[in-house]
Structure 1
Amino acid sequence: MGTGGDFEEIVLHDLRPYYHVPGAIHSEGITFVKETGTLLWVDIFKGQVHKVEDIEHPGSSHSSFSITRANYGKNSPIEYPPNPDELKESVGCIFPVFNDASHGEIKQVLFGSKFGIGRLDFDTSEWEYVILYSECPDLSTDRAYKLRSNDGNVSPDGKYIYVGLMSDFPFELEPIGCILRVDLLAQEIQLVWNCLLIPNAIHWDESDQKTMYITDSLNFTIWKCPGGDLLKREELIDVRNSNNQSFESPEPDGSAVWFSKDGKHSGYLFITVWSTCKVQMYELASGKLLKEFILPKQTPRVSCCCFVGKDLFVTTANAEINDSVRTNSDKNGGCLYRIPNALESNVPLETTKRQPLY
């Protein structure tokens, strides 16, 4: 896939971080909740959930919550799963719950964690599992133990959470990852895509509410799945082909979709490309690269993005994710950036991830 004659490169080397949590390692999963004006994201490696309640004043409205065995709900109906190696909790993706929003505040979130889908109460700082991945009949207990949540999303009807699992940090990266479809109302889990290395961002087409776009990071591919049939997928974008002159492993990571409300075009996919400092904008109908935003060189590990109106918020990861070899030399990795006017037309604020039914 070529870039074509109308390709545009926007260099943002002087862009300053929007916000930086001290000690952040792997910021990811960013999403915006219009109903409460809340920005949410996670730190995968540290097992943390972060929220900012006032977009324009992140420093004074930021709070964070750790997901550990120590603050697991004592009265949870699901006992904390066996963990003989005492593997750390990690949080890969977040699903806001805002129907019970009180006084403009979000009280709970669901999230993909180490062993399943969890629920965090912001008032008590306690959390609990609402379903375990080991409940999936096609996922052995031994295999599930080696996996952790990566990215995920909620189907347009809110019925299903789709979540990608990949090898957990302590284990060698193997093609044992998968995508699960979780029905919290029925308490059922189905394996819908098997034997992946790093399953990543998942989106639906707004026109038919069925066609899915799925990121396969280490195959450098964005797959289009017409009608939501993951077995009949077709390649839409070869991200490596759009970055093959300068980068050894330009992996597509988290992404955001934007669909026009006037019907003038099919929509855009904004992809953070790991190790490149880039966010690339593609046309969904053709898979054509239209534009790329080049962020400061100090933070090459861009990891996820979401829109707040016209502005694109981007998370990054530290260069030293594995704490066994960390020297703390990367002072910028893990920060968030805000790219102003990434969308040129005026757009309303929208919640960027649906609330799941449960």
Structure 2
Amino acid sequence: MSEKWQVGAPYLDMQCGLGEGPYYEPATDTLRFVDIKKKQLHTVSVADGPASLKTLQFEEAVTVTADVDGRDPSRTILIGAKQGLALLDLATGKYDYLTKFPEEKPERIRSNDGGVDPMGRFWMGTMTDFGLGPFQPEGSLYHFSGAGTVARSLSGLTIPNSVGWSPDGRTMYFTHSSARTIFAWDFNVEDGSLSNERVFYRHDGPGEPDGFRVDVDGNLWHAVYGESRVLKIAPNGSLVGEVTLPTRNVTCCEFVGEDLFITTASDEEGEGESKRLGGGLFKVNVGTRGTERFKFKLH
């Protein structure tokens, strides 16, 4: 690997249980991210820095967020909650479900990661919720069109993770963490159909690939849970760089300009610095930018 970056102290030393889903909102110049285990949504002003951190507390897990086309993101955003897709009122902290997962045993599952495709559909995975024993292959990958339509694209998943698209929108990537595999498909932008399934990258190591973001050159910046690093994976699937962090459980990342913000989870079984800094939010300049974030279309 030719490119290497090293991150030291966290940007926010905050001990998330499971920090995830970082999302930069250009209109408000804020970064938001969730703590799935503590059922919280955090926002921080990029201009004002760590002292501007604000937190919303929920009764059930919020796992991922997105902006909504035609809505002011300082007031309303889209969230993945335990039972499906919902609109969150940031002023009150209340949310209303748009569509719920069509699961046979909804109490057993929760949402996980996801993202909006170039046509404004939201793709999101489900998995076994915490406290219900070992994770089972009962998860799915769904896509949501507008306020009421949901369709299942994949089933039998254990830990479905990030979904993303190449800069031209014609390739969709999806990480199945428990299989240590990133899949790729040819993506039909018009109808959201997938074809030509293939393995883009299979991870060989003790950790599991977790969340990723795609940069403007088509590289995937992929967090690896359990290995203290983010991998830079070229469009041909080869490893070309890595960011190393001082804590093991690295979960996801997001571009803010040429800075990469990186979420992590607690490291209760670790020692020393990894345990002390687990759950922090980290920041490093990597000299490139992420692809455009698409907004969810309600109609």
Q: CA deviation at 1:352?
A: 5.2
Aligned pair partner of 2:234 in 262, 279, 283:
283
Scaled by the length of structure 1, the TM-score of the pair is 0.76
CA contact (8 A) 2:29 2:47 kept: no
Separation of aligned partners in 2, 1:213 and 1:179: 12
The answer to whether structure 1 residue 184 and structure 2 residue 146 are counterparts is yes
Separation of aligned partners in 2, 1:92 and 1:270: 20
Q: Which moved more, 1:115-124 or 1:230-239?
A: 230-239
Q: CA deviation at 1:9?
A: 5.2
Q: CA deviation at 1:132?
A: 1.4
Q: 2:283 maps to what in 1? A: 338
CA contact (8 A) 2:215 2:291 kept: no
Separation of aligned partners in 2, 1:336 and 1:282: 22
Q: CA deviation at 1:300?
A: 0.4
Structure 2 regions of 5+ residues with no counterpart?
none
Q: CA deviation at 1:106?
A: 1.4
The answer to whether structure 1 residue 214 and structure 2 residue 159 are counterparts is no
Greater C-alpha Rg: 1
Q: 1:74 maps to what in 2? A: none
Q: CA deviation at 1:64?
A: 0.9
Query: How big is each residue's C-alpha offset from its partner over 1:221-265, in whole Å with a ceiling of 9 and x where there is no partner?
Result: 11111135546410011122xxx3xxx2x21101110124xxxxx
Call closer, same or farther: CA 1:351–1:8 in 2, change over 3 Å: closer
Amino acid at match of 2:293: K
Call closer, same or farther: CA 1:126–1:304 in 2, change over 3 Å: same
Q: CA deviation at 1:117?
A: 1.3
Q: CA deviation at 1:126?
A: 2.0
Q: 2:187 maps to what in 1? A: 227
Call closer, same or farther: CA 1:356–1:33 in 2, change over 3 Å: same
The answer to whether structure 1 residue 35 and structure 2 residue 27 are counterparts is yes
Amino acid at match of 2:100: L
Identity rate, percent: 30
Q: 1:162 maps to what in 2? A: 123
Call closer, same or farther: CA 1:227–1:221 in 2, change over 3 Å: same
Q: CA deviation at 1:96?
A: 2.3
Alignment of 1:12-23 (within 5 A): 12=6, 15-21=8-14, 23=15
Call closer, same or farther: CA 1:97–1:188 in 2, change over 3 Å: closer
Amino acid at match of 2:124: V
The answer to whether structure 1 residue 355 and structure 2 residue 299 are counterparts is no
Separation of aligned partners in 2, 1:227 and 1:125: 35
Alignment of 1:111-126 (within 5 A): 111-126=79-94
Q: 1:84 maps to what in 2? A: none
Alignment of 1:190-209 (within 5 A): 190-207=151-168, 209=169
Call closer, same or farther: CA 1:331–1:57 in 2, change over 3 Å: farther
CA contact (8 A) 1:34 1:351 kept: no
Aligned pair partner of 1:94 in 46, 65, 71:
65
Separation of aligned partners in 1, 2:70 and 2:23: 16
Q: 1:59 maps to what in 2? A: 50
The answer to whether structure 1 residue 307 and structure 2 residue 255 are counterparts is yes
CA contact (8 A) 1:35 1:351 kept: no
For residue 51 of structure 2, give the secondary structure of its aligned residue in structure 1: helix
Separation of aligned partners in 2, 1:227 and 1:130: 25
For residue 18 of structure 1, give the secondary structure of its aligned residue in structure 2: coil
Q: CA deviation at 1:16?
A: 0.9
CA RMSD of superposed structures (Å): 2.1
Q: CA deviation at 1:181?
A: 1.1
Q: CA deviation at 1:11?
A: 5.2
Q: CA deviation at 1:47?
A: 1.2
Q: 2:38 maps to what in 1? A: 46
For residue 276 of structure 2, give the secondary structure of its aligned residue in structure 1: coil
Separation of aligned partners in 2, 1:320 and 1:356: 36
Separation of aligned partners in 2, 1:174 and 1:230: 25
Q: CA deviation at 1:99?
A: 3.8
Call closer, same or farther: CA 1:336–1:179 in 2, change over 3 Å: same
Separation of aligned partners in 2, 1:352 and 1:106: 19
Structure 1 regions of 5+ residues with no counterpart?
1-6, 69-88, 261-266, 322-328
Amino acid at match of 1:91: V
- Structure with higher strand content: 2
For residue 97 of structure 2, give the secondary structure of its aligned residue in structure 1: strand
